[in-house]
Chain A
Amino acid sequence: KNEVEQSPQNLTAQEGEFITINCSYSVGISALHWLQQHPGGGIVSLFMLSSGKKKHGRLIATINIQEKHSSLHITASHPRDSAVYICAVSGRGGSEKLVFGKGTKLTVNP
């Protein structure tokens, strides 16, 4: 069993829809990261969180430490949001190594 599980693997939405991507992990962590991989392959960090909730524009990330679960929400989705969204966790060892989920491929149609 992978340490980090994401669902769904693939997600297709219509423009304007509310999107939720889920991430569950099985190990103790110091932080959880949400990353976005563009169709061209580049990876950018969206959020890093260890508790509660963070918001940036139309993106919201939440984490429940007790349930070992995080969600990434996209409000008013747009075709430019089409990308692979990756959940990753960093452990407590101090080296900030990341363990990644397999990603969720999101396609937003106009």
Chain B
Amino acid sequence: NAGVTQTPKFRILKIGQSMTLQCTQDMNHNYMYWYRQDPGMGLKLIYYSVGAGITDKGEVPNGYNVSRSTTEDFPLRLELAAPSQTSVYFCASTHPLTSGTDTQYFGPGTRLTVL
């Protein structure tokens, strides 16, 4: 299994441009998440999905959109990029056990700079 993969690894955007960060997992996990990590701060949840066709906002959703058309893929869309979106983005997935929570598996991250 490749686990959780993210593309691209690095990207520089100009203010106002848009882009999609790709996330794919091959573990048949139904729960997937997008986090951002800013220097000196803990990871913050942007959006999450508990299954195909179901998405919901996290703590910091403004400026982002997501979709979940398949179990494997959970792309994150940035519209009208702003310098405040400069961050490292992590995708993660998990498969909760019926008796409780399960560990989350993280992708390698995408380092995004908006100039």
Contacts and interface: CB of A to CB of B under 8 A. Distances in A.
B14 to A, nearest CB: 24
A48 B97 CA distance: 13
Interface residues of B, number: 27
Given A30-B101, A45-B103, A86 B45 contact: no
Give chain A's interface residue range (CB within 8 Å of chain B).
20 to 34
Interface in A1-54: 2, 4, 30-31, 33, 35, 41-45, 48, 50
B101 A90 contact: yes
A110 to B, nearest CB: 27
B50 to A, nearest CB: 6
Contact of A31 (B42, B56, B90, B100): B100
B43 A33 contact: no
Interface of B: 31, 33, 35, 40-45, 48, 50, 56, 58, 88, 90, 94, 96, 100-106, 108-109, 111
Contact of B109 (A2, A41, A86, A102): A41
Interface in A45-87: 45, 48, 50, 86
Contacts, number: 63
Contacts of A103: 42
A96 B94 contact: yes
B40 to A, nearest CB: 7
B106 A43 contact: yes
Contact of A48 (B40, B50, B103): B103
A102 B102 contact: no
A100 B42 contact: yes
Interface string A85-110: 01010100011111111110000000
